[in-house]
C-alpha cells in the first residue's frame, strides 16, 4: 500500500531542464514519486531552458526519459504530464527570468501549490553565482524563514576550489540561507550508503571492530569502463579530482569513518561527518598519482584516448585517473591509511568500499594449506548490484587441511524489494525539507581543503608522461606502488557475485 504524502504542496522549477540530468534522472524520479503518492496532488514541475520548446515538447522529452528508466503506465503518465510545464528563456537575462516568474504565478494558482517552490539548479557550475544573484534579485527565491517557502537544490561541483566554494557559500547565505539550500551529492542517496549507517551502528558484530585496532586499511574505488563521452569541454575544466574525488569519495570516506551521532537527524549526522573531514590533512603530492588514458581496448572494442575525445585539447594534461593515500588523524583511525582511486576507461567498473581487516595470528594452523586464504574483507558495492559482501576464512570439506576465503553475501535484489534510485530519495527529502543527506557548507569547504594543495601542485608541475595508461587497463602502474610499498594491493578481479536483476522496476 502506498504511503500517504507527508509534504506541502510545491512547484519544482528545473533550471537547465533540457539536459541529460533532467531527462535521465530528475523527471523519471519525480514521476515515480508521484506514482507512489509520495508527492501530493497539488504540485507542478516547470522546466526552464533556452530551447524554444512548448509544454508538449517538454512532456515528450520527459516521457522518453521515464520510458528509459522503466515501464510506464499510460494512465499514470497522463495524470503526471498534466503537471508539467515549460518556459523558454535565458537564465542570464532578467527579462526572461521575470517572464518565468509571471508564468509561475499562473501555474501555482492553477495547481494550488500555495507559492512553495524548489528551484533545482541543473545548469553549468559557472552559472551558479550570476544565476543565484538574479533569482534573488527578481524574487524567484526568498530567504529561508519566509512563507511561502523556497528551497534551492544545487548540483556539484560546488565551486572550483576552496576560495570559490567559500565565495559561493557566502552568496548562498546572503540570498537563500543555509536552512534552505540543498547541496546535492547523489551518492548520499544510494541504498548501500544509507544502509552503511544501519550496518555499522545497528549490528553488534561490526562497530566494536570498526577502528585502528582491527582495520588494516580502507579502499574506496570509483573506477569505470566508460570514457568522458560528450562531456569533453566540461571535463577539461574539472578533471577527475574535482569531478568525483572532492565530493563523492570524500563524502563516502566521512560516512565510513564518522562517530555515531547522539540522534539521527541532519545536524548531528553532518556534525560527525565534518569532524572526520577536519581530521584529514591535505593530500601530499608524494602520496598521490595522476593519469590520463590513451587509446586501447575495452571489452574487445578499440576506443580512442582522452586527447582524441570531442572537446578535448590535443595536448591536454587533464587527469582522468587519480589515486591517493589519506589519513584520518583522530583516536579511532590514527595510523590506518585510506586509499582512494578514481578513473575513466579502465578494465572494469568497480564502485565500492573495501574494509581490509588485520590478519589474526595463525600459528595454530601451521602445516595447513592457506594459499587460497586472505584476511577478512568487507566489500560494500554502491552501484549495479548494490549490496554487501564479507569474506571470511573457512575450512574446506575433505581430508586435506585447507582453509579458503569464502563470501557471505547480501544483495538488495534478494530482499524482494526493488532498489530506489538515489535521486528519488534525495528529491523526496528536499520536498520534505530534510537536509540529512545533503552536504553542509563547512563540509564542502573542508573537502576542498583536503585536495586544493594537490591540485595546485599538479597545475604548477604539469605531467610529462601523459597519456600514461592504456584504455582497458587498470590505470598507471605507479598507482599500484602506493599500496605495494606497504605490502598491500588494490582489490581487483571479478566481483564477488554476479549481478542479478532486481525484481520490479528495471
DSSP 139-151: TSS--TT-SS-EE
Cα 312 to Cα 307: distance, rounded to the nearest angstrom: 6
392: Cβ contacts below 8 Å, ≥ 6 apart: 376, 405, 406, 407, 408
In a domain, residue 479? The reply is yes
pLDDT digits (tens, 9 = 90+) for 332-390: 999 999 999 999 999 988 889 999 999 888 777 777 777 777 888 899 888 767 788 88
Domain boundary among 134, 155, 176: 155
Residue 499 confidence class, pLDDT cut points 50, 70, 90: very low
Cα 361 to Cα 374: distance, rounded to the nearest angstrom: 13
In a domain, residue 214? The reply is yes
198 and 132 co-located in one domain = no
Map grid coordinates 560527525 to a residue: 272
Collapsing DSSP to helix, strand or coil, 274 comes out as helix
In a domain, residue 171? The reply is no
Assess contact for 117 and 105: CB atoms under 8 A.
no
Please name the helix (run of DSSP H) or strand (run of DSSP E) that holds residue 13, with its range, or none.
Answer: strand 10-15
Cα 433 to Cα 412: distance, rounded to the nearest angstrom: 27
Locate the DSSP E strands across 308-383: 321-327, 337-343, 350-357, 369-372, 377-381
Instruction: State the residue range of the domain holding 238.
Output: 188-484
218 and 138 co-located in one domain = no
Query: Does residue 415 surpass a pLDDT of 80?
Result: no
| Per-residue confidence (pLDDT) for residue 383, from 0 to 100 | 74
Mark whether 287 is an active-site residue.
Answer: no
CA atoms within 13 A on the CB side of 268: 7
Q: Percent of the chain having pLDDT more than 70?
A: 94
| Per-residue confidence (pLDDT) for residue 418, from 0 to 100 | 64
User: CA Rg, the chain, in Å?
Assistant: 24
98 and 43 co-located in one domain = yes
30 and 108 co-located in one domain = yes
Assess contact for 362 and 370: CB atoms under 8 A.
yes
pLDDT digits (tens, 9 = 90+) for 233-267: 889 989 999 999 999 999 999 999 999 998 888 99
List, in sequence order, every residue forming a beta bridge with 389; answer none if it has no partner.
379, 409
Q: For 326, left (φ over 0), alpha (ψ -120 to 50), or beta?
A: beta
Domain total for the chain? 2
351 and 257 co-located in one domain = yes
| Per-residue confidence (pLDDT) for residue 458, from 0 to 100 | 97
In a domain, residue 3? The reply is no
In a domain, residue 172? The reply is no
131 and 193 co-located in one domain = no
Cα 62 to Cα 79: distance, rounded to the nearest angstrom: 13
Residue 183 confidence class, pLDDT cut points 50, 70, 90: very high
303 and 389 co-located in one domain = yes
**Cα-to-chain-centroid distance, residue 184:** 8
- CATH number of the domain that 133 lies in? 3.40.50.720
Assess contact for 349 and 384: CB atoms under 8 A.
yes
Q: Which residue intervals of 112-161 are DSSP H helices? A: 128-138
Sign of the alpha-carbon torsion through 288, 223, 162, 90: positive
- CATH number of the domain that 253 lies in? 3.30.360.10
Beta-carbon neighbour count of residue 367 at 10 Å? 6
Query: Does residue 506 surpass a pLDDT of 50?
Result: no
422 and 476 co-located in one domain = yes
Sign of the alpha-carbon torsion through 104, 105, 106, 110: positive
146 and 192 co-located in one domain = no
123 and 204 co-located in one domain = no
In a domain, residue 76? The reply is yes
Assess contact for 483 and 339: CB atoms under 8 A.
yes
Query: Does residue 57 surpass a pLDDT of 90?
Result: yes
Average pLDDT value over all residues in the chain: 89
Q: What are the helix and strand counts (H, E) for the chain? A: 14, 19
In a domain, residue 162? The reply is no
| Catalytic site residue from 186, 217, 248, 425 | 248
Collapsing DSSP to helix, strand or coil, 492 comes out as coil
Sign of the alpha-carbon torsion through 161, 163, 164, 168: positive
- Write down the pTM of the prediction: 0.90
Region 277-305 average pLDDT:
96
Please name the helix (run of DSSP H) or strand (run of DSSP E) that holds residue 423, with its range, or none.
Answer: helix 422-432
Assess contact for 362 and 233: CB atoms under 8 A.
no
208 and 146 co-located in one domain = no
Residue 293 confidence class, pLDDT cut points 50, 70, 90: very high
Cα 122 to Cα 186: distance, rounded to the nearest angstrom: 13
| Per-residue confidence (pLDDT) for residue 342, from 0 to 100 | 97
In a domain, residue 223? The reply is yes
Cα 358 to Cα 214: distance, rounded to the nearest angstrom: 6
Inter-CA distances, 455 with 163, 223, 458, Å: 13, 20, 5
Query: Does residue 495 surpass a pLDDT of 70?
Result: no
Residue 1 confidence class, pLDDT cut points 50, 70, 90: very low
Cα 270 to Cα 258: distance, rounded to the nearest angstrom: 9
Domain boundary among 131, 155, 179: 155
Query: Does residue 72 surpass a pLDDT of 50?
Result: yes
**Cα-to-chain-centroid distance, residue 201:** 22
Ranges 76-90, 129-143, 348-362, most confident: 76-90
Q: Percent of the chain having pLDDT more than 90?
A: 68
Q: All 3 cell numbers of residue 17?
A: 531542464
pLDDT digits (tens, 9 = 90+) for 192-215: 888 888 888 988 989 999 999 999
301: Cβ contacts below 8 Å, ≥ 6 apart: none
Residues belonging to the chain: 506
Amino acid at each position: 500500500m502506498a504511503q500517504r504524502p507527508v509534504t506541502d504542496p510545491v512547484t519544482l522549477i528545473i533550471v537547465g531542464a533540457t539536459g541529460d540530468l533532467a531527462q535521465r534522472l530528475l523527471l523519471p524520479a519525480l514521476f515515480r514519486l508521484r506514482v507512489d503518492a509520495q508527492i501530493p496532488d497539488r504540485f507542478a514541475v516547470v522546466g526552464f531552458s533556452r530551447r524554444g520548446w512548448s509544454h508538449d515538447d517538454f512532456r515528450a522529452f520527459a516521457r522518453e526519459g521515464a520510458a528509459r528508466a522503466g515501464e510506464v503506465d499510460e494512465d499514470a503518465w497522463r495524470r503526471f504530464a498534466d503537471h508539467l510545464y515549460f518556459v523558454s528563456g535565458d537564465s542570464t537575462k532578467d527579462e526572461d527570468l521575470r517572464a518565468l516568474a509571471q508564468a509561475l504565478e499562473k501555474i501555482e494558482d492553477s495547481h494550488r501549490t500555495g507559492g512553495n517552490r524548489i528551484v533545482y539548479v541543473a545548469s553549468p557550475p559557472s552559472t551558479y553565482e550570476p544565476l543565484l544573484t538574479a533569482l534573488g534579485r527578481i524574487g524567484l527565491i526568498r530567504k529561508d524563514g519566509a512563507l511561502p517557502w523556497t528551497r534551492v537544490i544545487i548540483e556539484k561541483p560546488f565551486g572550483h576550489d576552496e576560495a570559490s566554494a567559500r565565495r559561493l557559500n557566502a552568496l548562498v547565505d546572503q540570498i537563500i540561507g543555509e536552512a534552505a539550500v540543498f547541496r546535492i551529492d547523489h551518492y548520499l542517496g544510494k541504498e548501500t550508503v544509507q544502509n552503511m549507517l544501519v550496518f555499522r551502528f545497528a549490528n553488534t558484530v561490526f562497530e566494536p571492530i570498526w577502528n585502528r585496532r582491527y582495520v588494516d586499511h580502507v579502499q574506496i574505488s570509483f573506477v569505470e569502463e566508460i570514457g568522458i563521452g560528450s562531456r569533453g569541454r566540461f571535463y577539461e575544466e574539472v578533471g577527475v579530482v574535482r569531478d568525483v574525488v572532492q565530493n563523492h569519495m570524500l563524502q563516502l570516506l566521512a560516512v565510513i569513518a564518522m562517530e555515531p551521532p547522539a540522534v539521527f537527524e541532519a545536524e548531528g549526522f553532518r556534525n560527525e561527518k565534518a569532524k572526520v573531514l577536519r581530521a584529514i590533512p591535505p593530500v601530499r603530492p608524494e602520496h598521490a598519482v595522476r593519469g590520463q588514458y590513451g587509446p586501447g581496448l575495452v571489452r574487445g572494442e578499440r576506443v580512442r584516448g582522452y586527447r582524441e575525445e570531442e572537446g578535448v585539447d590535443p595536448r591536454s594534461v587533464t587527469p582522468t585517473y587519480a589515486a591517493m593515500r589519506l589519513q584520518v588523524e583522530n583516536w579511532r583511525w590514527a595510523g590506518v591509511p585510506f586509499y582512494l582511486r578514481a578513473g575513466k576507461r579502465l578494465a572494469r567498473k568497480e564502485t565500492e568500499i573495501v574494509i581490509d581487516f588485520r590478519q589474526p595470528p595463525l600459528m595454530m594452523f601451521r602445516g595447513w594449506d592457506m594459499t587460497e586464504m586472505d584476511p577478512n574483507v568487507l566489500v560494500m558495492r554502491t552501484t549495479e548490484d548494490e549490496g554487501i559482501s564479507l569474506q571470511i576464512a573457512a575450512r574446506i570439506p575433505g581430508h586435506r587441511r585447507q582453509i579458503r576465503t569464502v563470501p557471505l553475501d547480501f544483495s538488495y535484489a534478494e530482499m524482494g524489494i526493488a532498489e530506489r534510485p538515489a535521486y528519488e530519495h534525495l528529491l523526496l527529502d528536499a520536498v520534505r525539507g530534510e537536509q540529512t543527506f545533503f552536504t553542509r557548507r563547512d563540509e564542502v569547504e573542508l573537502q576542498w581543503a583536503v585536495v586544493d594543495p594537490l591540485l595546485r601542485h599538479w597545475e604548477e608541475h604539469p605531467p610529462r608522461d601523459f597519456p600514461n595508461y592504456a584504455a582497458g587497463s587498470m590505470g598507471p602502474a605507479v598507482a599500484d606502488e602506493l599500496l605495494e610499498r606497504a605490502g598491500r594491493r588494490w582489490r581487483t578481479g571479478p566481483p564477488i557475485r554476479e549481478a542479478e536483476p532486481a525484481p520490479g522496476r528495471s
